[in-house]
């Protein structure tokens, strides 16, 4: 049974109108309460994540709870400065003795729709920004990670009254009902197709949106890369959370001269990280649902026929929703471009490996695809860095590393084009949920009579002399 959403939103609007959320001391207090509750409910959260995604305690704590606690600490440290009016130059002698500034102010009531792959982090991080900016918020966790959705509901209920921050649980019909309501901002993390639905629903109310989507994030391995280092980074970044990471490398483009060496090194890294039997490893996760398991299994089956070749992994177990870390040789770029595995984001532990002859060829292929959420490059050659960064477009780029760009609070996290719009993390989360109001103050004693009719005949010429380019 759906809750009375209209009444819930009305109560939040009334609470917001009372002005309490605009008080900076109140915001800090609520952020501190959220941090305390995250620590208090850590065991509940980690248990839920293990049930939903097979996450080890380390993965669950480091990528979900610790990530949020670090964001809270950073936000509390800087919130005072972020919330200050920001003086700007008036820029014109016509405004002599006036002053101008930009005043951040909260938007009102925000809707945050979170996904299932990092269900705590991707619900709480935007909530931190919404609270810091002075808003009320409604969280909609993903029903696909059902145990974690319940844990988030418990966490939030322990912190906040529903007229301030509330969790609304449920399936697709709940999301649809929420999207018929009017909010002051909608923050959505998920797939591109659902992102279009969210944006269309928001357009009916002219509600601004932040869309954190995905796409096929490429990983270029240049001819000069340090292969042992590169292989370990790729294996870690790809198979963390069983590949269910929006900024995981979706495919590898490797210089032909280094392909065999890279595959052998990745094979060694998989065994080193997860043993020769990854299914028995306590550190290797599971696919979130049978629906997603079936989709990924279908991709593996499609890779068992030429020109593809499964060179590592490929084993599956439906009962435990296990899919082995899998490497697929997709031959060269002209061949790979037409393969099913290269059509859309994989979002699982299957990694296509594709060779290129010249770097220009790899760049051209990337630029023919929708703009990705992330782009990775392994190379120690500065001209190669410059070429790739200047000739491609992506939400973020990372050189000689993977995924960790998302952990730098001063870097905005977001997509471009089909991979999303808007950004957050750190001060960008505060900005995301704020309106930056322009303010101009002029003294009432300054009477510029020449501005008013009747105008002097020489006024235009005088102004032209006063303001010259």
Q: Tens digit of pLDDT for each residue in 277-308?
A: 999 999 999 999 999 999 999 999 999 988 99
Which pLDDT band, with edges at 50, 70 and 90, does 37 fall under?
very high
The percentage of the chain sitting over the pLDDT mark of 70, rounded to a whole number, equals 99
How far is residue 22 from each of residues 101, 257, 357, 439, measured CA to CA in Å? 18, 59, 57, 18
- Give phi and psi for 323, each to the nearest 5: -130, 125
- Tokens coding 168: 């609304």
What is the band of 2 on the pLDDT scale with cuts at 50, 70, 90? low
Residue 343, pLDDT above cutoff 60: yes
Average pLDDT over residues 423-435: 98
Residue (of 413, 71, 396) closest to 249 by Cα position: 396
Sign of CA dihedral 146, 169, 22, 39: negative
The predicted structure's pLDDT at residue 96: 82
Stronger pLDDT, 126 or 337, i.e. the higher one: 126
Instruction: Categorize the per-residue pLDDT at 469 as very low, low, confident or very high, splitting at 50, 70 and 90.
Output: low
* pLDDT cut 90: percent of the chain above it: 91
Cα-based torsion angle of the residue sequence 85, 91, 92, 93 in order, rounded to the nearest 10 degrees: 80
- 315 flagged as catalytic: no
Distance, in Å, from the CA atom of 71 to the CA atom of 76, rounded to the nearest integer, reads 9
The answer to whether 378 and 400 have CB atoms below 8 angstroms apart is yes
Beta-sheet pairing, 309-312 with 316-317: unpaired
**Of 414-418, 422-426, 459-463, the least confident:** 459-463
What pLDDT score does 8 carry? 97
C-alpha–C-alpha distance, residues 310 and 408, integer Å? 35
pLDDT for res 414: 97
Query: Does the pLDDT at position 456 exceed 90?
Result: no
User: Is the pLDDT confidence value at 373 over 80?
Assistant: yes
* Given 68, 219, 246, 330, the catalytic residue: 246
pLDDT of residue 458: 86
Among residues 111, 115, 273, 268, the alpha carbon closest in space to that of 189 is found at 115
pLDDT averaged over every residue in the chain: 95
Give whole-number Cα distances, 266 to 111, 237, 242, 400, in Å. Answer: 41, 12, 15, 15
- What DSSP character marks residue 116? S
Q: Which range has the worst mean pLDDT, 63-77, 247-261, 262-276, 334-348?
A: 334-348
| DSSP letter assigned to residue 455 | P
- Is residue 74 within 8 A of residue 409, CB to CB? The reply is yes
Distances (CA, A) of 347 to 158, 230, 249, 409: 33, 21, 9, 25
CA atoms of 143 and 174, how far apart (whole Å):
10
Q: 69 pLDDT band (50/70/90 cuts)?
A: very high
> Is the Cβ–Cβ distance between 110 and 186 less than 8 Å?
yes
Quick one: DSSP state of residue 429?
H
Chain Cα centroid distance, residue 329: 29
Task: Answer whether 428's CB lies under 8 Å from 98's CB.
Answer: no
pLDDT at 201 over 70: yes
| pLDDT (0 to 100) of residue 383 | 98
DSSP class of 63: I
159 is annotated as an active-site residue: no
pLDDT: which is higher, 243 or 91: 243
Point out the catalytic residue in the list 50, 59, 212, 232: 212
pLDDT at 1 over 80: no
């Amino acid at each position: 049974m759906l809750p009375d959403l209209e009444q819930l939103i009305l109560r939040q609007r009334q609470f917001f109108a009372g002005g309490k959320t605009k008080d900076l001391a109140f915001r800090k207090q609520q952020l501190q309460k959220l941090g305390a509750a995250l620590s208090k409910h850590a065991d509940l959260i980690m248990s839920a994540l293990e049930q939903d995604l097979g996450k080890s305690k380390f993965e669950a704590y480091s990528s979900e709870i610790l990530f949020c606690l670090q964001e809270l600490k950073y936000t509390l440290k800087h919130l005072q400065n972020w919330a200050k009016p920001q003086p700007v130059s008036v820029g014109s002698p016509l405004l002599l003795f006036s002053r101008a500034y930009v005043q951040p102010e909260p938007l009102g009531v925000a809707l945050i729709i979170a996904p299932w792959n990092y269900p705590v982090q991707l619900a709480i991080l935007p909530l931190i920004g919404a609270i810091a900016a002075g808003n009320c918020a409604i969280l909609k966790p993903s029903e696909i990670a059902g145990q974690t959705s319940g844990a988030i509901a418990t966490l939030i209920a322990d912190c906040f009254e529903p007229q301030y921050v509330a969790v609304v649980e449920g399936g697709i019909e709940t999301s649809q009902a929420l999207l018929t309501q009017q909010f002051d901002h909608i923050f959505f993390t998920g797939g591109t197709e659902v992102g279009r639905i969210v944006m269309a629903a928001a357009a009916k109310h002219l509600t601004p949106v932040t869309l954190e989507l995905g796409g096929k994030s490429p990983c270029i391995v240049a001819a000069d890369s340090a292969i042992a280092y590169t292989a370990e980074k790729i294996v870690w970044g790809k198979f963390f959370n069983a590949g269910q990471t929006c900024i995981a490398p979706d495919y590898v483009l490797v210089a032909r001269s280094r392909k065999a060496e890279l595959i052998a090194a990745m094979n060694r890294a998989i065994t080193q990280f997860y043993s020769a039997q990854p299914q028995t490893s306590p550190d290797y996760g599971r696919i979130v649902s049978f629906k997603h398991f079936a989709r990924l299994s279908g991709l593996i089956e499609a890779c068992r026929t030429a020109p593809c070749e499964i060179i590592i992994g490929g084993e599956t177990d439906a009962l435990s929703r296990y899919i082995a870390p899998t490497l697929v040789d997709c031959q060269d770029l002209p061949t790979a471009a037409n393969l099913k595995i290269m059509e859309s984001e994989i979002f699982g532990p299957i990694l296509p490996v594709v060779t290129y002859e010249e770097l220009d060829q790899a760049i051209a292929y990337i630029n023919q695809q929708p703009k990705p959420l992330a782009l990775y490059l392994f190379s120690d050659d500065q001209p190669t860095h410059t070429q790739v960064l200047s000739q491609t477009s992506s939400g973020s780029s990372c050189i000689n590393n993977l995924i960790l760009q998302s952990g730098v609070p001063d870097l905005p996290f977001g997509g471009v084009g089909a991979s999303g719009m808007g950004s957050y993390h750190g001060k960008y989360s505060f900005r995301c949920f704020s309106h930056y109001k322009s303010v101009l103050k002029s003294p009432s004693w300054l009477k510029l009579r020449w501005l008013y009719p009747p105008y002097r005949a020489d006024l235009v010429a005088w102004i032209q002399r006063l303001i010259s380019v």
